[in-house]
Structure 1
Amino acid sequence: MPIVTVNIKEGRTVEQKREMARRMTQVICETMKVEPAAVRIIVNEMKNENFAIGGTLVCDDPSMQVKPEA
């Protein structure tokens, strides 16, 4: 049973996460020769206050934050 953990910053829509899970499952099934029901995907969504880039918390720099879809 493949188990995949995905770490992302907050700000993605449910639709984006749903599509990611669908596509990742498809690729895992094709490459590992397993059925979709065997695939587990864990999405860890981090708040911007709990993630830093280059020593700066993402919540302190708007340019680092995920932009909503247009």
Structure 2
Amino acid sequence: MILLITIWIFVMKKGGSLNYKQHVAEMMRVAEEQLVEMKKTNESIARIEGFASNLTDEVAAMLGRPGRL
């Protein structure tokens, strides 16, 4: 697959090659942005899960039940 892509780039005209390089750069930028957003989402989910766990423990304690509900 890599060989096929390499040959395709070699055969392309210079303008086409530049467009390909721009496309790859843009896709890398988008992938990095998506990774940042995914990390933020995962952190938010972890905070929500922690909050829910603490809330469940507090409710269980108020009801006089040890552990979780």
TM-score range, shorter chain: 0.3 to 0.5
More strand by share: 1
Q: TM-score, normalised by structure 1?
A: 0.33
More helix by share: 2
Q: TM-score, normalised by structure 2?
A: 0.34
Larger radius of gyration: 2
